[in-house]
Amino acid sequence: MVLEDACQAVGGGYRGKMLGAIGHAGAFSFNFFKNITCGEGGAFVTRSKAVYDRGSVAVDCCSFYWDEKSDQTHEELQFAGNNFRASEFEGAILNAQLSRLEPMLKKMRGQKKRLLAAGEKAGLTSIKNHSIDYECGTHVGFLFDAEVAARSFSDALKSRGVGNFLPLDTGRHVYTRWEPIMREQGAHHAALDPFKIPANRKCRVKYSHDMCAKSLDILGRTVLVGTHPDNKATRVTAMARAIRDAATQAA
């Protein structure tokens, strides 16, 4: 089974295929930092009726019983689910934002291409962009030979009023900074902890700080510059100029 975590990429695609619809099921998030938001919450999508039915019960403890036509002899759908139902107010907020989503993504993709061109013209190396015409375009990434060079470029950009960050500095987005996982504490009680459940003993994974050394190295040598749909043309021009100047200073 392929389960897509598309939470950070609402509206994005990969070479013409929409994210979340490529695998057997996909998940989206609507918290404050996503492309569309209702404050919190999320959604899952699937083409499978069986997955939909089980997922619906998992997020709505009464889902199976709302439909009077449901065959209630299906005991596998009568497990005790959770209560993660979204309200109609949240739905209304999200529906209003759907019409804005594609225009927002179009702006960010355009900004990314312009800033990317400015960086490459200044001699910078871009991170790999596998589907630049369909991705969300939220960030432009530049890859350096060493972390010291990346931080020098980052500081030079910040001094010119352009926000940016190294992925290595994003806290628990990086597995080595997610302390409970590193110490194998997956739940508040051992009986619910996937690290300690007997059935998982054979598939248990031992995590170490150096197990993904190459990935950590790349995260420490990369600088990401964010785009934004509210950026005016003059702002993007200033950002492009700052990238060129910072590249020269950091060289």
Which CATH class, in words, describes the domain spanning 101-251?
alpha beta
Confidence of residue 63 (pLDDT cuts 50, 70, 90): confident
Beta-bridge partners for 13: 18
pLDDT level of residue 47 (50, 70, 90 thresholds): very high
56-70 burial code (b ≥16 CB/10 A, e <16):
bbebbeebbeeeeee
Give the residue among 224, 20, 10, 39 at the shortest CA–CA distance from 104.
10
What are the b/e assignments for 107-124, b being 16+ CB within 10 Å? bbbebbbbbbebbeebeb
- Could you report the per-residue pLDDT of 136-162, keeping only the tens digit for each? 999 999 999 999 999 999 999 999 999
> Residues with Cβ < 8 Å from 129, sequence gap 6 or more?
116, 135
Q: Which of 168, 192, 172, 190 is nearest to 181 (CA)?
A: 172
Averaged over 217-246, what is the pLDDT? 97
Average pLDDT in the 125-131 region? Answer: 96
* Domain-wise residue ranges, the chain: 1-85, 101-251
**What gap in Å lies between CA 223 and CA 213, rounded to an integer?**
18
Q: Are 200 and 225 in contact (CB under 8 A)?
A: no
* Confidence at residue 250, expressed as pLDDT on a 0 to 100 scale: 77
CA atoms within 13 A on the CB side of 71: 4
**Segment holding 23, helix H or strand E:** none
Q: How many helices (H) and strands (E) does the chain have?
A: 7, 9
The predicted model scores a pTM of: 0.88
**For residue 243, what pLDDT is reported?**
98
Equal CATH topology for 1-85 and 101-251: no
pLDDT confidence bin for 68, thresholds 50/70/90: low
| The CATH number fitting domain 1-85, selected from 3.40.640.10, 3.40.50.880, 3.40.50.1820, 3.40.50.1220 | 3.40.640.10
- Tokens representing 14 are 């990969």
Strands 3-5, 25-29: pairing kind: parallel
Average pLDDT, stretch 220-244?
A: 97
* Rounded Cα–Cα distance for residues 33 and 87 (Å): 20
Work out the mean pLDDT of the chain and round it to a whole number.
92
The upper half-sphere exposure of residue 234, i.e. CA atoms within 13 Å in the direction of its Cβ, equals 0
**What is the reported pLDDT for 62?**
81
Report the C-alpha gap between 208 and 200 in whole angstroms.
19
From CA 231, how far away is CA 137, in angstroms rounded?
13
